Structure 1
Amino acid sequence: MRWLVYLYPKTWKERYGNELTDILKQTDTSFKTIIDLLIGIIDAWHMELKERNAYGYRISQVLVVVAVINLFIVLKLKPLGEVIEVEIAATIAVLIAMASLFLAAVALVVSIFKFGRDGLTLKPKLSKAALGLMGSYAVFMVTFLVLIN
C-alpha cells in the first residue's frame, strides 16, 4: 500500500511523503484506506495543476493589459501629447524593457545551471519566467518605438 504514496505529485511527496508512509505502516490495509488514498491523490494533483494554471493565467492577464495599453497608444484615440508626456513614457518604457531583458537573461542562466539541459525547455518555472520576461521586453520595446515615432 506504500506504493500509492509515489502517485502523489513530487512537491506533495517532498513535504508529506515520509509522514504518510509512517502512518501507513501503522494502519491496516483496508478498502476504505485505499479509497481514501486514491481520493487524496486526485485532490493533490488537482491542487498542483490549479496552481500551475493560476500562474499562467496571471501572466496572461498582465500581457493582455499591456497589449491593450499599446493598442490605445498605437490607435491614437487621443493625441498622444494630451494623454502622457511622450519623453517620460518612452524613457520609462525603455528602462522597464532593459530591466526585464536583464532579469530574463539571469533567470535563464540560473535555470540552465540549476537544471542542466532541461533548463532550456519550458519544464522549469525559471525557464517559463525567463520567457515571460522576454515577452515583456518585446512589448515594452515596441511601446518605446511607437512613442519615439
Structure 2
Amino acid sequence: MDVSVKLKEATALAKSKSFDQAIELLIELLPIMATQGGFPHSAYTKIIPYFQKAGRYSEVEEFCKTYLFISIKRDCDKTFAHKPEETGLAFIHLHTSMIYDKLILCAKREKCTDDIGRFQNAKIAHYDIYESWFVKEHGET
C-alpha cells in the first residue's frame, strides 16, 4: 500500500467534506505508517481537525490517547533506532507537542476554554522535554 497516495486520498475526502471517510482511512493508515516509520508529525496530526469538522470533537482527545500517541512513538522508535535513545525520546515529545497544538486549534474552534488551557499546558510540557533532550544530545544552549 502506498501510504502517500492514501494520505492524499484522505485529504481529498476531507476537501469534499467527507470527514468521517477521511478519518476511517487515516485510522487504517496509522499502524502502517507507524510500522514503516519516518513520517512527519503532519501526516499524523492531519486527522485531528477532521474529527472537529465532522462534529466529533468529543472523541478526538480519546482518539489521540488510544491511537495517535502510540503511533508516533512507534514511528520514532523505528526512525531513530540507530541514534542514541535521547534522540528518539526528544522527537516523541516534539511530535506529542504538535498533537497538542492541533488539539488546541480544535478546542479554540469549539470554544472549549478548559480544554485549551489543558492542551496548552501539555504542549508546553512536552516541548520543554524535547528541548531538554535535544540540548543534552547536541550540546547546544
TM score, norm. by length of structure 1: 0.33
